[in-house]
A and B are shown apart, each in its own frame.
Chain A
Amino acid sequence: MKDDKSIDITSILESSMIELKKNNKEAYELIIKKSKEGFFENHQTAGNLKGLAKDILDISFK
């Protein structure tokens, strides 16, 4: 569920990742998508974070 808080965090991420958006759009879009799903505003296990890290690298290097 998307609420006001997740929009705030997504906005912060969007404004912090302008360069990434230019250089690595796939990774940027994946991070923003996860943010909109509320991934960052909730506590995440190490496993979840590793999973996302792997996905970001895979999509970047494919």
Chain B
Amino acid sequence: MKIKNIGLSWFRGSGETIDLNTDMKNVVVYGANGAGKSSFSDALEYIIGEGKVKHLIHKDIGSKQEKGIVNTHRPSARDTTAKFIFDDDIQVYVQIKQDGRLIFGSQPKEFIDFIQTWKLERLLLRQDEVANFIVDTPGGKYSVLLPLLGLDDLEHAADNTTKLHKSISDISKLELNKSTVKLLKQEVDKYFTDTSDAELLKALKTISDNYGIKIDLTENVFEIAKKLHQSIMAKFDSISPEISRHATFNMISEEDLASKLSVALNKENEIKDKIDRLLNIKIEILQKAASYNKNIEKGTTNILCPACGKEIRKDDFERHVNTELTKLDQLCSARDQAIEARQNLKESVSRVLVYTNDKYFKDWLDQEPQSKFKESLSSLTKINSQKWEERFTSETQVTLSSIIPIINQAVKVGIKKEPPSNKKLLEHIDVIKAINNLPEIRKIEKHTTLTMQILEALENSTSKIRDTIRFKTKEVISQISRDIQHLWLILHPNEPIEDVQLYIPRDEDKSIDVELKFYGVNQPSPRFTLSEGHRNSLGLCIFLALARLEKNKHLPIFLDDIVSSLDRGHRGNVTELLKNEFDDRQILLFTHDREWFTELRMLLPTQNWKMLVLKPWSNPSIGMQWSTSEFTFDDAREHIESNCELAGNCVRQIMDAQMAIAAEKLKIKMPYARSDKNDHRTCIEFLQYIISAAKKNLKKQVGTEWVQYDEPITLWQDAMARLIVRADRGSHTGSLVKDEVENLISVCESSVKAFKCADCGNFIWLANQEAKKLMQCQCGHITWKYD
């Protein structure tokens, strides 16, 4: 497939319109830096990349890269267009309309879809990509090469199976489920070593018996567990008040009201008799003491007892009085003990009343069977409000004596009704819960197993796809490597850098590097030993080898400024390589290297190659323009208006390059010059030798005769003369004027054209018959014999 025409309008560097008409040939486009030649490559990338050019990517460039794609000076009523016409008038185009719409189209309609499947990386190589590839990491190289290897489908598949694996793992909550099962199983393992239905039923029966709950053993074990759990939970709810009530009974019992009442009553009885007796004694003593006081005289040793009237010694009387006082003290003590007993009883009664004020206890009291107990407590409450700790009336004593036994009896009964222990109950609930966990455990385990089977299948798939990728990568890079070595040998014949090949480092995935032998020593990377020029040359070989992969053989190749770091010798080899190895592909070569362009123009046959020159950039409104000349003298013309001297120098530089190549092609023998002078000969020197040789060697066929061909010699002599006067670095000292420069350019351009046959348009050295030491143009009307 060949490109017939590329038309640009306000696209990148183009103005109103510019057409690269290939005439279905290979094309070399020369343009000084900034002339706009990359606009053609950008157009191809923009269409294949569906609106994206990699080197223009910038956050502010716009979603369609319109700020970079549209010429900044596009008139408001114009669209931006890039259009490719292929053979058979197949057309494809892109337009950025005035209103900003981006439109891709083609004729036939489906061709746009086809072109957008092209692998740009196999069709377009730019200078920076050559350099970047070689210095990139093995992973980076793999990313670059992946689309070129034709394995991106497999890579997508490997990525998709890997990501699907993760999605399934995430959505299924696999890890969470695993830990949940682990925890649930720990609960089951506490109670069961065997989770057979028989064992589970056995456990459930034991529990149900414990609570008098009936279960239907014919039911499913988990159904039984579920129902039993409900029953036990209901039990648990009723058990709470029962436990509370039992605790209340225990506390009431610990108060031991009956004993305390008994003590209080006994103490009361004790002091009751003694107090009566004490009152009598006290009265009698008081009466007799009064009489005694009357009878006692000073100095008396014996006195009459005030109690019995007998004469007693005064000492005895005093002893007696002391004895009575002791009795009185004992009585006081008994009284205090009685008060304390009453207080103890009262405090206990108060506490009992607090205990029985518990909600659960009161609820229970409200039930009919407890009415007597409730009445007793009610009476106790009333009594408690009185201050009987100070005055313990008989009535209070009677009341207490009647109600405390009732309370005591109720408490004894209550204490006997011991509720089930919480601990045991909770344990039973845990056992049932553990059984109830089993269906969940089994369900999660089933899901987990299924999930893991899917994940394992996906892991196997990813692994097999990766194996396939690795295998195919090796296969493809082995094939490419053979071609790389072949191309490398053309570019670098007789150099001690051999066995250049791609390889997968240590069987790593997603990794490719380049190895070679440098003076016989294996090098795992070109970075170790190769110069920048050699690296770029290697990058070019790799690209060209990839471009030649079978599936893309019919598509054109764009080479955009690919030889800037190569020296002249290697550039020449690139020319040979393109001419001889890619004659089946249309090549569009863009270069800013004037010397190389000159060489290409002089070497490449015009029937296959078209040479085009872009004028130096003027301004965005004018945009890119083709030079009317096939040579590069427009570079000099650009300076005429502003600087004639500079234009003159430019002419000389152009002629230096042109004549050096012409002399080389015509095999002109030049005397050896010392040091680097061989590389710095001037066009004047070359012309002298060319003219001298031409007089012997250059022949033209006229009819059947071969005659000396003088016209070119005249033109070369004219050019040499003017160069000596106006552009020779050694002789020219004055300043040029416009007319002189224009004349110089015109004469020099004619002198370069003079190396071409007027009939076929090819250079006279196009065909070389080494055996005859004869060169000739395409049609053979002009020949050059050499020694």
Interface string of A39-52 (1 = CB under 8 A from B): 11111101001101
Partner of A57, one of B159, B160, B171: B171
Partner of A24, one of B157, B453, B464, B468: B453
The answer on a CB contact under 8 Å between A12 and B461 is yes
What CA separation (Å) do A50 and B461 show in the bound complex?
18
Q: Which residue of A lies closest to B161 (CB)?
A: A40
* Chain A residues in 8 Å Cβ range of B154: 5, 8-9, 41
Measured between C-beta atoms, what is the minimum distance from B700 to chain A in Å? 59
The answer on a CB contact under 8 Å between B167 and A16 is no
Partner of B164, one of A9, A17, A49: A49
B454 on interface, CB distance cutoff 8 Å: yes
Q: Which residue of B lies closest to A54 (CB)?
A: B171
* Chain A residues in 8 Å Cβ range of B461: 12-13, 16-17
Q: Which residue of B lies closest to A10 (CB)?
A: B157
B622 on interface, CB distance cutoff 8 Å: no
The answer on a CB contact under 8 Å between B457 and A39 is no
The answer on a CB contact under 8 Å between A53 and B171 is yes
The answer on a CB contact under 8 Å between B465 and A9 is yes
Interface string of A4-41 (1 = CB under 8 A from B): 01101100110111011001100110010000000111
* Chain B residues in 8 Å Cβ range of A52: 164, 167
Interface string of B456-498 (1 = CB under 8 A from A): 1100110111001000000000000000000000000000000
Partner of B156, one of A13, A27, A42: A42
The answer on a CB contact under 8 Å between A20 and B157 is no
What CA separation (Å) do A19 and B461 show in the bound complex?
12
Partner of A41, one of B157, B453, B456: B157
Partner of B454, one of A5, A12, A60: A60
B707 on interface, CB distance cutoff 8 Å: no
B325 on interface, CB distance cutoff 8 Å: no
What CA separation (Å) do A43 and B161 show in the bound complex?
11
The answer on a CB contact under 8 Å between B171 and A44 is no
Measured between C-beta atoms, what is the minimum distance from B175 to chain A in Å? 15
Of the candidates A8, A9, A46, A50, the one having the most CB atoms from chain B within 10 angstroms of its own CB is A9
Partner of B157, one of A9, A23, A50, A60: A9
Partner of A53, one of B153, B168, B463: B168
The answer on a CB contact under 8 Å between A27 and B468 is no
* Chain A residues in 8 Å Cβ range of B163: 44, 46, 49
The answer on a CB contact under 8 Å between A43 and B156 is yes
The answer on a CB contact under 8 Å between B167 and A49 is yes
Interface string of B158-174 (1 = CB under 8 A from A): 01110110011011100
How many residues of A are counted as interface, with CB atoms below 8 angstroms from the partner's CB atoms?
32
The answer on a CB contact under 8 Å between A57 and B172 is yes
Q: How many residue pairs between the two chains, A and B, have CB atoms under 8 Å in the bound complex?
A: 86
* Chain A residues in 8 Å Cβ range of B164: 49, 52-53, 56
Q: Which residue of B lies closest to A15 (CB)?
A: B464
Main DSSP-derived SS at the A contact region: helix
Main DSSP-derived SS at the B contact region: helix
What CA separation (Å) do A56 and B171 show in the bound complex?
11
Q: Which residue of A lies closest to B150 (CB)?
A: A5
Q: Which residue of B lies closest to A52 (CB)?
A: B164
What CA separation (Å) do A7 and B422 show in the bound complex?
67
Measured between C-beta atoms, what is the minimum distance from B780 to chain A in Å? 50
B451 on interface, CB distance cutoff 8 Å: yes
What CA separation (Å) do A8 and B463 show in the bound complex?
15
Q: B110-169: which residues lie under 8 A (CB-CB) from chain A? A: 153-154, 156-157, 159-161, 163-164, 167-168
The answer on a CB contact under 8 Å between A53 and B167 is yes
Q: Contacts A16-B464, A50-B171, A57-B171 given; indicate if A5 touches B153 (C-beta within 8 A).
A: yes
What CA separation (Å) do A50 and B447 show in the bound complex?
18
Q: Contacts A9-B465, A12-B468, A56-B168 given; indicate if A19 touches B161 (C-beta within 8 A).
A: no
What CA separation (Å) do A24 and B172 show in the bound complex?
16
B450 on interface, CB distance cutoff 8 Å: yes
What CA separation (Å) do A32 and B160 show in the bound complex?
14
Partner of B460, one of A5, A17, A41: A17
* Chain B residues in 8 Å Cβ range of A43: 156, 159
Measured between C-beta atoms, what is the minimum distance from A33 to chain B in Å? 14
What CA separation (Å) do A43 and B163 show in the bound complex?
11
* Chain B residues in 8 Å Cβ range of A46: 163, 167
Partner of B153, one of A31, A41, A54: A41
Measured between C-beta atoms, what is the minimum distance from B774 to chain A in Å? 53
* Chain A residues in 8 Å Cβ range of B464: 12, 15-16
Q: B164-207: which residues lie under 8 A (CB-CB) from chain A? A: 164, 167-168, 170-172
What CA separation (Å) do A9 and B464 show in the bound complex?
10
* Chain B residues in 8 Å Cβ range of A12: 157, 461, 464-465, 468
What CA separation (Å) do A1 and B154 show in the bound complex?
16
What CA separation (Å) do A23 and B457 show in the bound complex?
11
What CA separation (Å) do A33 and B447 show in the bound complex?
22
The answer on a CB contact under 8 Å between B454 and A56 is yes
Measured between C-beta atoms, what is the minimum distance from B420 to chain A in Å? 42
Measured between C-beta atoms, what is the minimum distance from A10 to chain B in Å? 10
* Chain B residues in 8 Å Cβ range of A28: 457
The answer on a CB contact under 8 Å between A57 and B161 is no
The answer on a CB contact under 8 Å between B454 and A20 is yes
* Chain A residues in 8 Å Cβ range of B167: 46, 49-50, 52-53
* Chain A residues in 8 Å Cβ range of B160: 39-40, 44, 49
Q: Which residue of B lies closest to A58 (CB)?
A: B171
The answer on a CB contact under 8 Å between B465 and A41 is no
Q: Contacts A52-B164, A54-B171 given; indicate if A61 touches B447 (C-beta within 8 A).
A: yes
* Chain A residues in 8 Å Cβ range of B457: 16-17, 19-20, 28, 31
Measured between C-beta atoms, what is the minimum distance from A3 to chain B in Å? 9
* Chain B residues in 8 Å Cβ range of A23: 450, 453
Measured between C-beta atoms, what is the minimum distance from B171 to chain A in Å? 5
* Chain B residues in 8 Å Cβ range of A56: 164, 168, 454
What CA separation (Å) do A33 and B312 show in the bound complex?
136
Partner of B453, one of A6, A20, A50: A20
Q: Which residue of B lies closest to A53 (CB)?
A: B167
The answer on a CB contact under 8 Å between B450 and A24 is yes
The answer on a CB contact under 8 Å between A41 and B156 is yes
What CA separation (Å) do A31 and B168 show in the bound complex?
13
Q: Which residue of A lies closest to B449 (CB)?
A: A23
What CA separation (Å) do A46 and B783 show in the bound complex?
70
B residues with a Cβ closer than 8 A to A are: 153-154, 156-157, 159-161, 163-164, 167-168, 170-172, 447, 450-451, 453-454, 456-457, 460-461, 463-465, 468
Other contacts beyond A40-B161, A49-B167: 20, CB < 8 A: A8-B154, A9-B154, A12-B464, A12-B465, A13-B461, A15-B464, A16-B457, A17-B457, A17-B461, A20-B453, A40-B157, A41-B153, A41-B156, A41-B157, A42-B156, A49-B164, A50-B167, A53-B171, A60-B451, A60-B454
Of the A-B pairs whose beta carbons lie under 8 Å apart in the complex, a sample of 23, sorted by A's number, is: A5-B153, A5-B154, A6-B153, A9-B154, A12-B464, A13-B161, A16-B460, A16-B464, A17-B460, A20-B457, A23-B450, A23-B453, A24-B454, A41-B154, A42-B153, A46-B163, A50-B171, A52-B167, A56-B164, A56-B168, A57-B171, A57-B451, A60-B451
Nearest 6 CB-CB pairings of A with B: A53-B167, A20-B457, A16-B460, A41-B153, A16-B461, A40-B157
